[in-house]
Amino acid sequence: MLHLKMAVPSSISSKISNLLLRIRFAPASLKEMRYLILFLLLFQSPGWCGEGNATSGMILPTHTKVAYGPDPMQFVNVWLAKSEAPTPVLVMIHGGGWCGGNVDEVLKEEGYLSRGISVVSVEYRRTPGSPLPAPVMDAARAVQFIRSKAGEWNLDKTKLALLGGSAGACTSLWLAFHDDLADPDSEDPVSRESTKPLCVVASNAQTSIDPPVIREWIGEEVLKHGMIFLAAGEPDTAAMLANYEKHKPLYEKFSPVNHLDASDPPAFLVYGGATKLPAENAGQAIHHPAFGLRLRRRQ
C-alpha cells in the first residue's frame, strides 16, 4: 500500500503525524525520514531504549565487509545497536544508477543506534559489467542474508525496513512490491528467508525503468540517463532502443509499478526538484516526481 494508516500516539510529536497519513511529493529532510522509520519500527518495540540523541559522529561499523556472496562487491557493513532484546534493523541501499554510488562506511548520526535500531548498508554488483538482474537480486540476497544472521546479530527480522535513494530506492520498492522470493523448501538456509520489508522510505525513486513507459511519463530525456541503457548492458540509448524487444521482459520485470498490489507494505516516497514536463535534461528526468505520481495512480 502507498498510504500510511498507522495511528499516532499522543506521545509522538506532531512532526510525524502528516507523514503517516499521506505520501509527500516534496523535499523532505533526512530528519523527517528518520521520524517515520523510528515510528514504524521502534514505537513500543522491545528494543526501545529511550529518546536517545542524534549528535553527529563518525561511527565505524560493528562488522565491516561481511560477504553475502562470492563477488567482491557482495558485502554489507553492519552497525549493531546495544539492546538486550532483538532490535529492529534499517537496511540502506545506496543510489548511483546501479552503476556508481558508494556503500556507507561510517554512520554520520547515531540517532538510529541510540534508539535501539541496528543499521546495515548494502553493496552490490554494478552495471554495465553486471547488468540486471544482478544489482537488484544482490540486494534481495543481502536482505535474506541479514535475516539469516538475526540470532547472531540480535536482530528482530520481522522489523526490517528499507531506506534507498534513486536506484537504491527503485530496488527497495521492487523488493517491497514483488512477490516474496523466499524458498521455504531450499536446502540453503539464506534462501529460505523473506525478501519483503516491513516498510520502505524511497527518495527520488524510479518506479518504472521500461523505456516506452517512462518516455510517455517524463519525456525523451529520461532515456538518455545511463541507468536505463546500462541496466540492460547496452552502451547507449540508441543501442538500447534498437534492441528493446530483446530487453523488454527485463525492463518490465524490474519496474516496481508492475508488481504493486494492495497487500504490499507501506511505502513513503519523497521527491524534490522541478516538476516541469517533459523534463529538460537526463539528470532531472531520472528523479522526476512524475515517477511517484504515476505509481500513486496504480494503487
* pLDDT tens-digit map of 144-167: 999 999 999 999 999 999 999 999
Task: Give the per-residue pLDDT at 240.
Answer: 98
pTM of the model: 0.86
Residue 282 lies in a domain: yes
Task: Give the per-residue pLDDT at 58.
Answer: 85
Q: What are the φ/ψ torsions at residue 119 (nearest 5 degrees)?
A: -130, 140
Task: Residue 116: give its domain's CATH number.
Answer: 3.40.50
Domain holding 124, by residue range, is 14-297
Task: Give the per-residue pLDDT at 29.
Answer: 58
Task: Give the per-residue pLDDT at 54.
Answer: 42
Residue 6 lies in a domain: no
Only one residue has cell 541501499, namely 93
pLDDT under 70: residue ranges of the chain: 1-57, 109-110, 299
Per the structure block, which three cell numbers stand in for 146?
Answer: 541479514
Bridge partner residues of 109 (DSSP): 56
Query: Is 117 exposed, middle or buried, given 0-12, 13-18 or 19+ CB atoms closer than 10 A?
Result: buried
Q: For residues 125 and 103, give the distance between their C-alpha atoms in angstroms, rounded to a whole number.
A: 11
Only one residue has cell 543481502, namely 142
Residue 273 lies in a domain: yes
Q: For residues 136 and 206, give the distance between their C-alpha atoms in angstroms, rounded to a whole number.
A: 13
Residue 186 lies in a domain: yes
Reading phi first (left if > 0) and then psi (alpha if -120 to 50, else beta), residue 134 is in alpha
Residue 134 lies in a domain: yes
Task: Give the per-residue pLDDT at 114.
Answer: 86
Residue 220 lies in a domain: yes
Task: Give the per-residue pLDDT at 49.
Answer: 38
Residue 8 lies in a domain: no
Residue 209 lies in a domain: yes
Q: What domain count does the chain have?
A: 1
